[in-house]
Amino acid sequence: MKNDVKVIAKAQPQSRIDSDLIGIATAALLGLFLLFAAGFAQATVLHDTAHDQRHAMAFPCH
């Protein structure tokens, strides 16, 4: 009887460093976007947004 060996090719997983860098870059870009969006928004817009979010999460605020 002949023994046949089957080789299954597997794709190499993305390295941990690459995925960490992608996560860090995404978080940094999101943070910068939020910082500048909040910096240029009017106070009433920010207040109304936070107020509506509290109601959407079922937290009473008044």
The 10s digit of each residue's pLDDT in 37-52 is: 888 888 898 888 888 8
**What's the total number of domains in the chain?**
1
Q: What value does the mean pLDDT of the chain take? A: 82
Q: What's residue 15's pLDDT?
A: 73
Domain containing 42 equals 16-56
Q: Residue 7 has what DSSP assignment? A: -
The answer to whether the beta carbons of residues 16 and 24 sit under 8 Å apart is no
The answer to whether the beta carbons of residues 32 and 39 sit under 8 Å apart is no
Would you say residue 9 lies in a domain? no
List Cα–Cα distances, 3 to 6, 8, 9, in angstroms: 10, 16, 19
Would you say residue 32 lies in a domain? yes
Would you say residue 34 lies in a domain? yes
Please compute, for residue 56, the number of CA atoms within 13 A of its CA located in the half-sphere on the CB side. Answer: 6
The answer to whether the beta carbons of residues 46 and 38 sit under 8 Å apart is yes
Would you say residue 41 lies in a domain? yes
